[in-house]
Structure 1
């Protein structure tokens, strides 16, 4: 994957919405972004963020006859992998074990998620793919 610049938390949140709903219009994104906000952002603010994501290489814009649609330039799995890799490096000195330990010890994983993680590790040891 080509080198992409890191994302701010707001940009990451937008990318998550795009990955879930793509292709998605500015109006639909604005509704999604503001759904749970006490203080909604404006269309201009959102458009600025989308333009920045496009310039960074994370988004692609499709110009329709009457509507502008955005879609991810990077697959969700690869994009999230890049974000996680940066987080792991920044917060855990590159240690995946430290990242997972933090999730487990700080209560970030449910019992079912821990069970699934154990099964994933067992499958990985057997040479299986996730």
Structure 2
């Protein structure tokens, strides 16, 4: 697996916009993030520059604006963060996390039914 840069929660919000709309220009990123947050344009510009420096984004100049594309795919980032979370809080095992949720009554009957359905579908896939 390739090295995934460390991305802050705020930077992740920027990345979600990039992933959804790429390739996307600076003004478009600012517009979309301004609609859903109270960030100033300079804050957004700073986060874009940081993400380029971290090699999470590629920026190319197009006239007077930059066009951004991701260098990290959404699923890669989510996979890395999920593994990191499991390792940090549950010794790296998914069953420890699920057991914790069950023991602390964090899973509803609907959640448990959904998990059973997912596992059943996975078993059927493996039989083929």
Q: What band does the TM-score fall into relative to the shorter chain?
A: 0.7 to 0.9
Counterpart in the other structure of 1:97: 95
User: Residues 102 and 69 (structure 1 numbering): CA distance in 2 closer, same or farther, change over 3 Å?
Assistant: farther
Larger Rg computed on CA atoms: 2
Q: Does 1:7 align with 2:7?
A: yes
- Superposition deviation, residue 118 in structure 1: 3.1
User: Is contact 1:6-1:83 (8 Å) kept?
Assistant: no
Give the whole-Å Cα distance in 2 for the aligned partners of 1:29 and 1:115.
39
- Counterpart of 1:78 in structure 2 is 76
Cα 1:72–1:125, aligned 2, differ >3 Å: closer, same or farther? same
TM-score, with length taken from structure 2? 0.75
Ranges in structure 1 where 5+ consecutive residues have no aligned partner? none
- SS of corresponding position for 1:28: helix
Give the superposed CA RMSD. Answer: 2.6
Q: Where is the helix percentage greater, Structure 1 or Structure 2?
A: 2
> What is the TM-score of this pair, normalised by structure 1?
0.74
CA distance change for structure 1 residues 11 and 120 in 2, over 3 Å: closer, same or farther?
A: same
SS across alignment from 1:35 = helix
Contact 2:55–2:71 under 8 Å retained in 1: yes
State the secondary structure of the residue aligned to 2:52.
Answer: helix
- Between 1:43-52 and 1:88-97, the stretch displaced more is 88-97
Count of residues in Structure 1 that have an aligned counterpart in Structure 2? 124
Cα 1:127–1:89 change in 2 (3 A) is same
Cα offsets for 1:65-93 (capped at 9, x unmatched): 23211111022211221122222223333
Unaligned 5+ residue runs, structure 2? none
